[in-house]
Structure 1
Amino acid sequence: MKISKIERSKLANSGDTYKALLASDADWFVRTADDLRQLRTEDKEGGLAKLSDDVFERFVASCTFANGGIAGGKTAILTTELGLKSIFEIFNRFGADDVLILSWQERDCDPNTHHCTWDFTSFCSDTTCKPIIVAADS
């Protein structure tokens, strides 16, 4: 992952633009737990760097990744030590703009049904919670 300043114009603003971002070869947003760890280490000013080691590790452990991006995790873990501005900055690092982030809130990715279900403490991306089916070449 390339650590750089977030360019708001590159952030996905809908499920379709997030799906296109995930399908791209872009390397500026968090796609894995290892990317989260790298971001925390290298971006000393970002929201992740403000978290205690315990809270950071609990947040990483809560996150699930699928289809090249974040599928879900526990927002409530972040609220114990961060304000909204820092939390949104972390979510922007997943490649989503603020409007798309808000649509992810209070939902959890059910691993059995691959659908987002209501959960006050979590977040879920419809785009990555369900498997992306790629048509086979004929």
Structure 2
Amino acid sequence: MEWREFALTGSMLDVYNLDKKKTHSFRASEVTIADMSSEGLYSLDVNGQRQLVLRVSSQSRLTKFLHVLVLAATTSQWTPPVVDVLTSLLSVATDIVEADARSPTKEVNVSTVSIDHVQAHLVDMHAMYQLQATCSTMEQ
């Protein structure tokens, strides 16, 4: 998966890579987005043909994107929905919480080795090295 930025200008959906280079351009009226799995994967299809697979970590963000995509498909003179500052800030917080909840967790095995075990092992190793230091040849 690679990071992409989407921009709706009039009735066109443009896709840019990390270097801000346009990689795709589609008419919004020809774009559909379909759920592929419960893991946040979506298919971006143009006229029924899959063009991109999207990983969307926030359902709220996807809902907002689909809303403006429908607006752009309806008219090239669409305008973004007007949102007050508090609603905008709350929306960002919601996106962050949803994305965090969807991110995979890495399970870490719990060690059964105690500090006492480690210290006892180090004492044994120290004694072995002390003994080895007194030897003058490998055979001893």
Q: Shorter-chain TM-score: which interval?
A: under 0.3
> Which is strand-richer, 1 or 2?
2
Structure of higher CA gyration radius? 2
TM-score, normalised relative to structure 2: 0.26
TM-score, normalised relative to structure 1: 0.26
